Each structure stands twice: as C-alpha cells, then as structure tokens.
C-alpha cells in the first residue's frame, strides 16, 4: 500500500475550500457531553492534520471544559496546526503506537484519515486502548466502494485502484470494531449529481487530494489534461458525480 507524503502538501492543504467548508458543528460530541455529565472532558483529534477540525470545534464548544489534543504523524502538518490553534496539546506520533496512557480519552474523532494507516488492526487496538470505558470513537471518511463515479476516478481511473488497496469497506469496519467490544452505529450518506467539471479543476491542479499523489506523474498529467480539454471545449460541461460519506460511532462498552 502506498502512502501520501503530507510534508509535500502541508503548505497547500488548506487551499481546498471544500475541505475547510465541510467541517460542521460536531453534534456527536455535543450528544456525548449532554448524556455523560463530567467536570472535564478529554478529546483527541486523531490524525489532526492542519487542525481544521480542532479550530472549529474549539470555537463551538467554548463554554465546555474540554482538554483538546491532536495527534499526527506529519511534523509539517502539525506546524500548520500550531499556527492556527491555541490551547491544544499536539503530539507527533504514529496512531499505531500512541504515547498515551490507557483509557485516557472520552471522545476520539478521526476524520478522513483511517485509510492512511498501514496496520489498521493495530491502529484499532490502540484506539480501543486509549479510549475510556463509555467513551466514543467517531470515524468519518469517504466510502469509496459506494462512489465509483466520483469525479476523481472519472479523470484519474488508476486512483480508484489505489484507493481499493487503502480503504476497508463498511462491513469490514463494522466487524472489526464490533469484535473489539465496541457498540457500533454506522451509516452512509450518499448523493449523485451532475457536477460542473470547471468547479473541480483547481482542486485537481492543486494535487492535494491524497490519492492523486499516489498515481504516477504521467497518469496525473494525462487526467489533468483531459479535464482542461473538457473545460476549454465546454466551460459548463458536467459529468455524473457520486459521493458517499461514512459516519461511524463506536462506543466502548
């Protein structure tokens, strides 16, 4: 399995406005706080990247007593996070060997990152270990098996086969979490639409989508040229685009 070198895209990672805009108020964290009253909560954003999730949630939960933490393997991504977010304890480490004590966190968020882990079994073992009894592990990711017509795969078809090597399907994720003694609630949100190609051209040119860093330069350039040609020929050209997101809430019981 190939892995993305985030040190090469850290500076341009936040240029993707879709990535910035999609982060909303975390109602699952809110529900946890409302149902389990404590004087203080400890939250970990796993593979926190440049701190996009933490930045917004800290503002949203300003009135709650939360000890915020972020862990990421990329020093350069953490450097960007440190520049934008204060009052967070950042840790540069691998999720497969986290430097935390057992049962340390009430709530662990894990956004768009699980597919990057080389040893997913060990990653889940560590997540289970550091999660408190009654705590929540929230896994949020795209569900590539349910979105074969994604615009990325339309123009860069080899990207789909790279993603098949990296992503577990929903059944595997559900079973792996359940067998570890977690109570799992998993849902897929899906949409299909006619997407305007020109709206995505900048994102392709930025090449900050992880799978586009894994295909060869030749395959990337060929796909990008196809996009540019289609836009030049018809600026309003659309393609059928589907997109699926997985939201998985796992409670340690």
Give the pTM. Answer: 0.93
Domains along the chain with CATH numbers: 6-252 (3.40.50.150)
Whats the size of the chain, residue-wise? 253
Question: For position 18, what pLDDT does the model report?
Answer: 67
181, 128 Cβ separation under 8 angstroms? yes
Q: Tell me the average confidence (pLDDT) per consecutive run of 10 residues in the chain, 253 residues long.
A: 76 72 90 94 97 95 96 96 94 98 98 97 98 98 98 98 97 98 98 97 93 97 98 98 98 97
The H-assigned helical ranges of 147-240 are 151-155, 157-166, 170-179, 201-206, 217-233
Letter string b/e over residues 180-217, b meaning 16 or more CB atoms within 10 A of that residue's CB: bebebebeeeeeeeebbbbebbebbeebbbbbbbbbee
Q: What is the pLDDT of residues 199-218, one digit of tens each?
A: 999 999 999 899 999 999 99
Both structure tokens of 216? 């060869």
116, 3 Cβ separation under 8 angstroms? yes
Question: For position 6, what pLDDT does the model report?
Answer: 79
Question: For position 15, what pLDDT does the model report?
Answer: 72
- Distance, CA of 85 to CA of 43 (rounded, Å): 15
For 209, which DSSP code? S
Residues 6+ apart with CB under 8 A from 62: none
Question: For position 13, what pLDDT does the model report?
Answer: 78
- Distance, CA of 99 to CA of 110 (rounded, Å): 17
29, 58 Cβ separation under 8 angstroms? no
Question: For position 242, what pLDDT does the model report?
Answer: 97
């Amino acid at each position: 399995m190939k892995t993305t070198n985030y040190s090469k895209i850290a500076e341009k990672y936040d240029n993707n406005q879709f990535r910035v805009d999609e982060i909303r108020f975390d109602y699952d964290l809110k529900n946890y706080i409302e149902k389990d009253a404590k004087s203080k909560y400890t939250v970990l954003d796993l593979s926190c990247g440049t701190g996009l999730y933490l930045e917004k949630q800290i503002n949203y939960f300003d009135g709650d007593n939360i000890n915020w933490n972020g862990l990421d393997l990329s020093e350069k991504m953490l450097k960007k996070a440190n520049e934008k977010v204060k009052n967070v304890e950042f840790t540069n480490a691998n999720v497969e060997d986290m430097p935390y004590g057992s049962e340390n966190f009430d709530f662990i968020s894990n956004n768009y990152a699980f597919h990057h882990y080389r040893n997913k079994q060990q990653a889940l073992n560590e997540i289970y270990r550091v999660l408190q009894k009654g705590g929540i592990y929230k896994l949020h990711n795209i569900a590539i098996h349910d979105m074969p017509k994604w615009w990325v795969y339309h123009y860069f078809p080899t990207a789909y086969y790279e993603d098949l090597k990296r992503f577990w399907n929903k059944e595997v994720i559900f079973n792996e979490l359940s067998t570890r003694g977690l109570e799992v609630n998993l849902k897929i949100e899906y949409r299909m639409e006619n997407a305007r190609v020109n709206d995505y051209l900048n994102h392709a040119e930025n090449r900050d989508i992880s799978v586009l860093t894994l295909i060869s330069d030749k395959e990337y350039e060929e796909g990008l040229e196809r996009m540019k040609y289609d836009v030049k020929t018809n600026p309003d050209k659309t393609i059928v685009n589907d997109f699926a997101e997985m939201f998985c809430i796992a409670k340690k019981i």
